[in-house]
Amino acid sequence: AKGAGKNQWRRYQAHLHNEMVERLELRSALDHAVNEGHFLLHYQPIVDLAAGTPVGFEALVRWHHPKRGVITPDQFIEVAEESGLIVPMGRWVLEEALRTVAEWRRILPPELAPYVSVNVSVRQFRENGFVDQVRNALQHTGVPPQGLMLEITETMLVKDDEQVWTNLATLRDLGIRIAIDDFGTGYSSLGYLRQRPIDVVKIDKTFIDDMITSHQPLALVTGIVSLAQSLGLIVVAEGIESPTHRELLVRMGCPFGQGYLFSSPLGPTEVLAWMRGVQP
């Protein structure tokens, strides 16, 4: 029995070792990717739920890995956050998203001009100079502040960092919209958000998923939608995969949403083709 315990311990140690090596490798590869610019953005339409027409696009980062091909953020965002590489990567994401939306806004008629919604890590918001970085990026791409939305996850915000809130308020004063991402996962109340510089609440996909099968999530989403709207917040529902989801959300008065029902994230050239397809 003693020998077995020892073996188990060794296996455990080997496992820890492998995991550490893997993380270190990932980190150094990511560092390289940041220096070489091995990233690309996909864009997922955010639509007016009743009309089915796009109002904006969420920029979602992808890593073009030399060996593994194009990989999604669930495989590297955590390491990017821990290592701080999310900061230079995020700077590139912001610039690239604005360059791209600037082009779409030039091509499309003004009434169809979309905004771009960019995910921003709390580490970026804490940076000195983040506000200037955003202001400069808007200026040299020629995108007006209303053409940009910044998303920050609810779980990051509940840590209640005053520096972050100050930066958010300044950005919002410029006319940029601020969205709380993954709302419902961080247990903050809408009442608490009321006194905060926020325009948009994005309801997390998990609530939308469960809405169809059980009564409680449906009541919860209905409650969030009506309370948010009474507080003057705009609501976007995430992860809409079926016509039933959409139908329920339209009926409860949820104005905007995104999900595979409308489109998965698209490459920049696919976006224009998709836009042509949905025009009446």
Residues 6+ apart with CB under 8 A from 35: none
> Least separation, in Å, of the C-beta of 4 and ligand C2E?
41
Q: What is the DSSP string of 151-172?
A: EEEHHHHTT--HHHHHHHHHHH
Q: The dihedral of CA 65, 68, 71, 73: what is its sign?
A: negative
Residue choice 1, 2, 74, 280 for contact with ligand C2E (CB under 6 A): 74
88 binds ligand C2E (CB under 6 A): no
Residue choice 29, 30, 34, 93 for contact with ligand C2E (CB under 6 A): 93
Do 52 and 280 touch, CB atoms closer than 8 A?
no
Residue choice 259, 266, 268, 271 for contact with ligand C2E (CB under 6 A): 259
Residue choice 86, 131, 150, 252 for contact with ligand C2E (CB under 6 A): 86
Q: What is the DSSP string of 99-126?
A: HHHHHHHHHS-GGG--EEEEE--HHHHH
Do 246 and 256 touch, CB atoms closer than 8 A?
no
96 binds ligand C2E (CB under 6 A): no
154 binds ligand C2E (CB under 6 A): no
Could you tell me which stretch among 4-12, 130-138, 214-222, 259-267 binds ligand C2E (CB under 6 A)?
Answer: 259-267
260 binds ligand C2E (CB under 6 A): yes
> Least separation, in Å, of the C-beta of 61 and Ca ion?
11
SS3 235: strand
Residue choice 49, 60, 102, 221 for contact with ligand C2E (CB under 6 A): 60
For ligand C2E, the closer CB: 147 or 259: 259
Instruction: Number of residues interacting with ligand C2E: please give it, by CB under 6 A.
Output: 21
**What's CA 108's distance to the chain center, in Å?**
24
Distance CA 46, CA 200 (A): 13
> Least separation, in Å, of the C-beta of 21 and Ca ion?
28
Do 180 and 221 touch, CB atoms closer than 8 A?
no
90 binds ligand C2E (CB under 6 A): yes
Q: Which of residues 159-198 bind ligand C2E (CB under 6 A)?
A: 181-182
- Residues 119-138 vs ligand C2E: string with x where CB under 6 A? x-x-----------------
Residue choice 29, 61, 193, 233 for contact with ligand C2E (CB under 6 A): 61
Distance CA 177, CA 82 (A): 27
What 82-88 contacts at long range (C-beta under 8 Å, 24+ apart), as own/partner pairs, is: 83/27, 83/30, 83/31, 84/123, 85/27, 85/30, 85/31, 85/34, 86/121, 86/123, 86/124, 87/121, 87/123, 87/124, 87/127, 88/34
241 binds ligand C2E (CB under 6 A): yes
Q: Give the bridge partners for 235, in sequence order.
A: 201
Residue choice 118, 141, 181, 198 for contact with Ca ion (CB under 5 A): 181
Q: Write out the residues near ligand C2E by the rule CB under 6 A.
A: 44, 60-61, 72-74, 77, 86, 90, 93, 119, 121, 181-182, 239-241, 258-260, 265
Q: Write out the residues near Ca ion by the rule CB under 5 A.
A: 119, 151, 181-182, 238
